[in-house]
Structure 1
Amino acid sequence: MFAILGAAGKVGRATVSTLRAAGRPVRAILRDPSKAAAFEALGCEVATADLHDADALARAFDGAAFVQVICPPAPRAGDAGAEMGRSIESIAKALTAVRPQATLAISDYGAEIESGTGITVLFHELEVQLRALPTEAIFLRSAEHMENWARVIRIAADSGRLPSLHHPLSKRFPTVSAPDVGRISAEILMQRQSGAATAGLFHVEGPERYTPADVAKALTTLLNREVVAFEVPRQAWHQTMLSAGLSDSGAGLVTELYDAHNRGLIDVEDGAGQVFHGTTDLVSAFQALLGRK
């Protein structure tokens, strides 16, 4: 049995779909029980659990040989770091109680760095806690998701200008489509089940790296209007994110993350772990966001 936490998210749903297409038994773990029917239609067992409820998580994990966990940041929370920290502690407590054969955690590029990387530091803590558990730990570090650009596509569509925290606009950065992360995670889990893979560290990014100018070019193609990327001035980042609804602590974590990105720190760890490449390019990812085929 494969238990997939966060099954309703883009990553989790792709993992579930890939496993079920291969005929593997899946328990989809949801926070919202109203979403259960879609997963039952795929032939999944369904469990519900909140990320902060260790007992409910343990019940959802119980009996599964392989567990996939994803712990999404909450940049709108009053204390974004503490919010994710509570989720990590609940997940770790539940895994300690159940002791599955192996746990695969979706982590982040740069998670090997102990400080100074904003949101990514939270994934460092996730890895530290899971490495200490009495279960095999597999970490799939993901590049930045292409879908994150959804937050500013409307701005680009309305104004023809694409705001970017990636500086300079000519610098290539690693990125990946979230469903590719879920698909590759499922493949790693199945390889682990068959004994063809071992626990350890993996990375996943897209078929190529892109610049913010490439992002603008992809949107120009899809929106039928010229889109030009521009650098959001560093001094305006915090207030811009507050205006977008992030908390003060969340805006601080994102600011620190992009400072680290722009220093080249958020990347594949040198000499550590295989790198997988997804197949979804920017145009295809944005077509899905815009509801186009």
Structure 2
Amino acid sequence: MIVITTPTGLIGRQVLNNLLGSSESIRVIVRDPSRLSPRERERVEVVQGSHGDLDVVTRAFAGADSVFWLVPPDPQAESVEAAYVGFSRPACDAFKSQGVKRVVGVSAFGRGAAVSGKAGNVTASLAMDDLIASTGVSYRALAMAPFMDNLLRQVESIKNQGVFFDMVSGDLKQPTCATRDIATVAAGLLLDHTWSGVASRPVLGPEDLSYNDMAQIMSQVLGRPVRYQQIPGSALKATLIRYGRSEAMAQALVDMMAAYDQGLATAEPRTAESTTPTSFRQWCEEVLKPAILA
């Protein structure tokens, strides 16, 4: 039995779809089962509720061999530690009480890097990893580069103004990955019953690119000029708060981006295993361009 959290989210849905054709029994935890497709509802067992609720995860993890764990966004959390570590505590209790063998979790890379201890969401993700590992389960933390798909949040700006924004220097080359590749790696680990122990599994995409490189590729794919504009952390934080983030969660994202600008995203060595196939150009052609044209 494999349990999938966030089965209607960007990554969780792709993980679930990668597993539907397998022979494994699948159970999902979902707040709103109506958001599952008819095919998904026919194939999976549904436990309704939040995977931050002890009663819900205890029921969901009963008899489970493996769990896909992803903390949902909580933009109004009182602290980044509460959003990641606090949310994960009930699940960790249920991993132990229900005898879950393996957990595959969405996390971040940067463990051991000089700036990882003050990197907002990254620091909290690594603390979550430690909490999960302390339960005694075998654990693979998917240590992700920044997502290409995060650019979809700026579709209107790219489409109407030909510009996208961030805090990171436009010339800093760093890895970036597609969520489809994260889902492929996660599904492979969930279907593999042979691994054990605790380790990270980096997902770095196929190449290191700067934001200026990405703007050039977007311009070529979209057939219109696109440029990158670096903004100060104060401007990013103010924008995040204006769109509903708590002060603490806005500051956590700013701290993470500041750590990236200091080289956090380049701290993970690239290997054949950590290099995933979807290039930024391919992602632009298959995901960003349709979103711009929609």
**Structure 2 length-normalised TM:** 0.88
Q: Contact (CA 8 Å) 1:164, 1:231: kept in 2 or not?
A: yes
Q: Secondary structure of 1:176's partner? A: coil
- SS of equivalent residue, structure 1 residue 225: coil
Counterparts of residues 77-116 of structure 1 (less than 5 Å): 77-112=77-112, 115-116=117-118
Matched, 1:205 2:207: no
Alpha-carbon separation, structure 2, partners of 1:40 and 1:77: 31
1:157 to 149, 156, 159: 159
Shift of 1:282: 2.0
Q: Decide whether the 8 Å contact of 2:29 with 2:50 is kept in 1.
A: no
Shift of 1:211: 1.1
- Tell me the CA shift for residue 291 of structure 1: 3.5
Map 1:54-203 onto structure 2 (within 5 A).
54-112=54-112, 115-167=117-169, 169-191=170-192, 193=193, 195=194, 197-199=195-197, 200-203=199-202
Cα distance, 1:177–1:232 mapped onto 2, change above 3 Å: same
Quote how far apart the aligned CAs of 1:243 are. 2.9
8 Å contact from structure 1 (residues 145, 177) kept in 2: yes
2:35 corresponds to 1:35: yes
Cα deviation per residue 1:63-86 (whole Å; 9 max; x = unaligned)? 111111111342343544423333
Instruction: Note the residue ranges of structure 1 that are not aligned, 5 or more in a row.
Output: none
Deviation at 1:290, TM superposition (A): 4.9
Q: Tell me which moved more, 20-29 or 150-159.
A: 20-29
Pick closer, same or farther for the CA change 1:59–1:268 going to 2, 3 Å. farther
Which residue in the other structure is 2:283 paired with?
Answer: 285
Identity %: 22
Identify the residue that residue 248 of structure 1 maps to in structure 2: 247
Aligned length: 288
CA distance in 1, matches of 2:150, 2:118: 21
Q: Distance in 1 between matches of 2:287 and 2:201?
A: 26
Distance 1:51 1:240, change over 3 A: same
Aligned-partner Cα distance in 2 for 1:222–1:244: 30
Matching residue's letter, 1:277: T
Output one character per residue of 1:117-162: Cα deviation in whole Å (capped at 9) or x when no partner.
Answer: 1111111111111111032222221111111111222112111222
In structure 2, the gaps of 5 or more residues are none
- Structure 1 contact 11–182 (Cα < 8 Å) conserved: yes
User: Is the deviation greater in 226-235 or in 257-266?
Assistant: 226-235
CA distance in 2 between partners of 1:42 and 1:170 (Å): 48
Q: 1:210-225 alignment to 2 at 5 Å?
A: 210-225=209-224
